[in-house]
Structure 1
Amino acid sequence: MAVFKIIKGEYKNKDAIKNVITYIWGKEEENKTPNNIFGALGVDYENINLTISQFEKIQRVYRKDSGKRILHIVVGFSKKEVFSLQQYLSIGYDIAKLFGGEHQVFFGLHENRKNKMHIHFAVNPVNVYTGEKIHWQKQDIVQLNENVRQIVLKYRAKNIKNRKIYWWHLLESREI
């Protein structure tokens, strides 16, 4: 069963962006990123320092470099939900597009110790065009969860015929 989760955390300190992006970059042993499957919209993802500085620059330009600095979202897949690396990358981009091209998004595919795949997303809460921060209500999170679920179901349909469809669970529904 796939899982959508907004990671709890205030992410208000000055190193929040660096910490989340470095974690997603996944160079630690227990946090492997298979075959360097990364993607991004609105930022460079070939150079970690450039990615971090581009997130920070948008926040400085709009003077929104206080409060919540980054959103950390995870979409996890069960062992029954097996996709090719290209499909995981496509899923990542489809989910990143849910932010309408208005927010910088960096993501990376991880594999945990139990060989379960999951995609981490770092989202800049500051809109690159308006400078406004994301202020989600419960219904916004429910809709995001449903949109992510539909994306994964689309890829499952390509891979799995006549299998039971697992429903996503909204693990956190608090305002951000």
Structure 2
Amino acid sequence: MAIIEFINGRNKTYTGLRRAIDYILRDDKTAFSLYGGFNCDVDNALNEFVMTKRHYNKETGRQYIHFVQSFSNREGISPETAKAIADELLLMDKFKGFQMVYATHTDKPHLHTHFILNTVNSYTGMKWKMSKEDLQELKDYSDEICRRYGLIVTHGKKGSHIDRGEYRTMEKGHSWKHELFLAVSEAKRYAISREDFIDKLKQLGYQTEWSDNRKYITFTNIDGKKCRNRKLYPPERFTKEALEQRFELNAVKLDKQVSKAKFEGLLSAIKLFETDGGMGMDHKNTYPLSQMENAAGADDILNAKQNTGLNWEKESGHEM
């Protein structure tokens, strides 16, 4: 079965809208064949969302709706099937005329599809509304699709509204393995060679054992806990071969000065979160990368750090 969750949040700025779209399309979470645009071009979705709002003079209030369709890891469905189910879900009459970007994520044991919906209807100019009856109809429609794909539909909690913090805690949790996953992902994002990758992980607090004589890479955190690369999810993105291919691509595509500055900014942000967390904490934060991801996303923290500093309350206005 699939569970529908609406992620509550203020969602009142174009900055937040851009961030949400960027997040669900991240290449460490999805793939080109697993995302799409509904009533819009996925590559130009932000601009098209804004054009619709301006056309109808409805730029205030909530800018987008974020909901997730999640599947149990016991279902055994493929990412392609999860994406196909999402495609069919959008054919529901409730979504007619609404623009949407959606992406099936494969970075967790349970497959799930994120949907970012423009709150202004491109056909009518009406703003999005959802009653309890509408939510139940959406859940029933989702269940009907799942049945057609041979998934078991059970009774119980099948959908609700939860706040963003609850969802991210449920999705990721705070664990040393998830913290390691984030560290390896960041090192992978900026490294241009195996040696550079190992060095960046060292700066992030991890020792890396990468030997040509061993099949797997072993990572060790500051507490001595070990984890092999095959335990990171999805494992095919963290094989030696996949990492080497990414390093080669980075060496060609990345601007070395910009990349260096961003990684140094990441290290500076981590120091803030390790001390008082940048969030008023009075103790050392064991999982700074997880906390950063939950709070605002690493990119936003880096931008704030490099410009005017961290200001978590300044999410207002309509800047893009």
Calculate the TM-score normalised by the size of structure 2: 0.47
Does the 8 Å CA contact 2:103/2:115 hold for their aligned counterparts? yes
Report what 2:75 is aligned to. Answer: 81
Q: 1:105 aligns with which of 81, 100, 117?
A: 100
Partner of 2:149: 155
CA gap of 1:166–1:112, structure 2 versus 1, over 3 A, is farther
* Partner secondary structure for residue 55 of structure 1: helix
1:117 aligns with 2:111: yes
Q: Name the aligned partner's letter for residue 169 of structure 1.
A: K
Q: Is the contact made by 1:103 and 1:128 (CA closer than 8 Å) also made in structure 2?
A: yes
Aligned position for 1:130? 124
The one-letter amino acid paired with 1:166 is T
Contact 2:79–2:106, Cα closer than 8 Å, also in 1: no
CA-to-partner distance for each residue in 1:83-128, whole Å, 9 max, x for gaps? Answer: 2333222111111222443101111010244x21100011112111
* 1:4–1:171 contact (8 Å) kept in structure 2: yes
Contact 1:41 1:101 in 2 (8 A): no
Give the root-mean-square deviation of aligned CA atoms: 2.1
- Alpha-carbon distance in structure 1 between the residues aligned to 2:17 and 2:32: 23
The 3 A distance-change label for structure 1 pair 77 and 43 is: same
1:57 corresponding residue in structure 2: 51
Gaps of 5+ in 1: 158-163
The answer as to whether partners of 1:26 and 1:33 remain within 8 angstroms in 2 is yes
Does residue 169 of the first structure (1) align with residue 165 of the second (2)?
no
- Residues 24-43 of structure 1 mapped to structure 2, 5 A cutoff: 24-27=24-27, 29=28, 32-34=29-31, 36-43=33-40
Kept in 2, the 8 Å contact 1:73–1:121? The answer is: yes
Structure 2 CA distance, aligned partners of 1:149 and 1:66?
A: 34
Q: Which runs of 5+ in 2 are unaligned?
A: 163-320
CA deviation vs aligned residue, 1:144-170 (integer Å, no higher than 9, x gap): 12111221222125xxxxxx5323522
Q: 1:144: which partner in 2?
A: 138
Of the two, which has the highest radius of gyration?
2
Compare relative contact order (CA 8 Å, sep 6+) and give the higher one, 1 or 2: 1
TM-score (norm: length of structure 1): 0.82
C-alpha separation in 2, matches of 1:17 and 1:148: 25
Q: Which amino acid aligns with 2:97?
A: E
Deviation at 1:74, TM superposition (A): 0.1
The secondary structure found in structure 2 opposite 1:131 is: coil
1:8-34 superposed Cα distances (whole Å, 9 cap, x missing partner): 11101231221111111123x4xx114
2: CA distance between counterparts of 1:13 and 1:89?
Answer: 28
Cα distance in 2, alignment partners of residues 86 and 79 from structure 1: 15
Check the 8 A contact 1:78/1:116 in 2, yes or no.
yes
Count how many residue pairs are aligned between Structure 1 and Structure 2. Answer: 161
Q: In 1, Cα distance between the equivalents of 2:154 and 2:74?
A: 10
Q: Is residue 110–residue 117 contact of structure 1 (8 Å, CA) maintained in 2?
A: yes
- 3-state DSSP of counterpart to 2:112: strand
* Aligned residue number for residue 6 of structure 2: 6
Q: Is the 8 A contact 2:5 2:67 kept in 1?
A: yes
Q: Give the structure 2 partner of residue 161 of structure 1.
A: none
- The reply to whether residue 91 of structure 1 matches residue 85 of structure 2 is yes
